Amino acid sequence: MISKKNYQVVSLLILVAIIYYSFYSLTPSTTNTTNGTTQFSTSNALHHLKEITKKPHYTGSPEHEVVRDYLVDEFEKLGLQVEIQEQVAINKKWRAATNNRNILARIKGSENGKALLLLSHYDSNPHSSLGASDAGSGVVAILEGVRAFLATNKTPKNDIIICITDAEELGLLGANAFVNHHPWAKDVGLVLNFEARGSGGPSYILLETNGGNKKLIEAFQNANTPYPVGNSLMYSIYKMLPNDTDLTVFREDGNIDGFNFAFIGDHFDYHTEQDSFERMDLKSLNHQASYLMATLNYFANSDLENFNAAQDYVYFNFPYFGLVYYPFSWVLPMFVVCVLLFLGLLIVGISKKRLSVIGILKGFIPLVFSLVISSLVAFYGWKLLLKIHPQYNDILHGFTYNGYYYIAVVVALTLAICFWFYKGFFKKRSPQDLLVAPLLLWVLINGGIVFYLQGAGFFILPVLILLVMLSILIFSTTKDKTLLLFTILSIPVLVIFAPLVKMLPEGLGLKMLAISSVFTVLLFGFMIPVFQQYKNQKKLASLFLLIGGMALVSASLYASYNLDRKQPNSILYVLDANKNEAYWASYNSTTDEFTKQFFGENPESGSYDKNTTASKYKTKIKLHTKTEIRNFEKPLISIISDTIINSDRKVYLSIVSNRNANKIELLAKIPIKFKQFKVNDEALKKDAESAYVLAIDYGTILSYYRTSENELIDLEFVVNKDQQFDIDILEIKYDLYSNPAFEIQPRSKTMIPTPFVLNDATVIKTNIQF
């Protein structure tokens, strides 16, 4: 006979194994690169990835053309006829424009239905990212996947369009050009888009649809992908957020449905020089390939005519089952049934004296204290860490190199806090009394889900299992053999919810560590029928406190920078042509060995001017100092015409960059409302409900990215006749190192340019008023 002590050991081993497996099962377990001719070859994909990520290749850079030529050549080797779509595009949301060069090819199908489109982008983020993950991984997955597909010598039912867009990083401009200008766009029935926001981890499924997701989910399940990872919580949140992938343009401008496949692990590499071939996780690449090959083979021969649906599905992934799904319409009835069962069990339990009102009420004490204290520790602990390690503030996307250690710290400390508060209650209160409080919390959460976030409808699963556990505790006369039973019953919840503890701060930044703490408390509450039967809960509290302390020490040891964890910093040279002044400026809050050569020991805090170029994370210039003026050739800004016709004022403005700059940015200093707005004859679309095509209170009007040496920027504005203009024009060139006017000591090998902000550039600022 197994002793109670051995039951506890077995239970612990099961829990550890299940939590490990919940993460292990998310990605392919093999990185085998030897496959048949008609199968995806990782080694082939890696060969292409290495070739296209040797240097940064942002739109307009010399290497950008090299990468484009390489991809065109490789697609042509597959027997495809490749077209380069050259088209000016403008994006209102991102206030960006450029002359795109998309790479297009088409495989003819046997029928005349809608086409399947394979989508990724070949530009890297300006100006230093190597773009291996974002989105070189998607590009090479498509290139190798198409090769394997063509090797079968089977003609697909549907046309397959390959669209490798340009200028995604600048504002989804390549997708804009294709959807709004290319005749193939009207043929597309479904899009498969491959992206990344880090260099590793599982690839998640995100849907883009203007209707319900019912048909998309059913079709995806039929494609039988081996490692589907995604859930409708992510889908619902994604629909509420300002979406920013190429696929969004297909949905918004073309009413075309599709799937995003993107991995977000190792977020610290995102858009940096470290997004390299060497740091690319092979499991992530293979995960993308598993999606591509399954969906390509399925959708190439499926009916793509209509994926519109009025109905949404709740869905989540589960090992061996793929996606488990059911209609949103089930969420409310399931909730009502659970509430009725809960109330019924309370009544029966109290009447049978298996539950006590005092015991139930006292069961809220450890739960509330655990939830509040652990959340405060996570929230203010991160703020304290930013004080202790101010260098973390320079990692703008908020996920540090040692971020996974901090997630471990929060989870371990939260478990220690929970065991500490519950240890006395475990001995004095029955498990059924203690179970009511967390069950009620889960019920309340599901009540909010019913009305505000139905995509999280699968959160009802813990409620259902807790109701089963509570029923057993109320109606069973013995609890000696329930430990392993309750452990086994907990497996589905742990498999589904444990990865969320890591995923949310990983994707949203460590400022969201409190969410990990809340999820940990919820899962602890769910596990009360198991933990209550463990002996020596105080020792478990001490154990998790020790684990949390060790994780914190490890995080501290990895808080400094080295060759694998490089320090981001930034520098700009700004020449204000109107003031005839020049500045060094940085987005860093402190100087370092690299930036001291520009600032010395005592730079001025803040910006040289409040009207500066915008950044993705609203980052402001934090240091500046005056410096000597270099005689750069200034841009030629000409007002070609300025006329008043009835109630309108029509202005033609031309900008010529005499030094072949990379970017021209227009910043409003006063509110401006545009009735019409054109860039190189490309008009900005006006929303039907708006009187103006663009209304600016202050800041960026437009960022235009130049892609050829003699490229002019012709702007056409129509405004109200009494509208005045006060505009700063920034001419930006990424030439700080190559400019002969400077002698700069390069960054050390442990440093990289800060992403998401203007960097390593010379800027000429000019103001025009008219």
Look at residue 1 in the predicted model and tell me its pLDDT.
Answer: 47
Rounded Cα distance, 415 and 330, in Å: 33
Q: Which fold has domain 54-318?
A: Aminopeptidase (3.40.630)
Residue 341 vs residues 257, 327, 348, 353: alpha-carbon distances, Å: 40, 22, 10, 18
**Domain residue limits, the chain:** 4-23+340-557, 54-318, 566-770
Inter-residue contact 205 to 220 (CB < 8 Å): yes
Using DSSP's 3-state secondary structure scheme, residue 735 falls into: coil
Residue 3, φ and ψ in degrees, nearest 5: -75, 165
Rounded Cα distance, 221 and 223, in Å: 5
Residues of the chain with pLDDT under 70: 1-5, 30-35, 239-243, 478-480, 614
Q: Which amino acid is at 752?
A: I
Query: Scanning the structure block, which residue is given the tokens 């409040």?
Result: 610
Look at residue 243 in the predicted model and tell me its pLDDT.
Answer: 58
pTM summary value: 0.94
Look at residue 477 in the predicted model and tell me its pLDDT.
Answer: 73
Look at residue 535 in the predicted model and tell me its pLDDT.
Answer: 86
Look at residue 476 in the predicted model and tell me its pLDDT.
Answer: 83
Query: Nearest Cα to 532, choosing from 698, 418, 407?
Result: 418
Rounded Cα distance, 362 and 385, in Å: 35
Report, in this order, helix, strand and coil percent for the chain, each rounded to 5: 45, 20, 35
Give the distance, in angstroms, between the CA of residue 30 and the centroid of all CA atoms in the same chain. 25
The encoded tokens of residue 667 equal: 């910043």
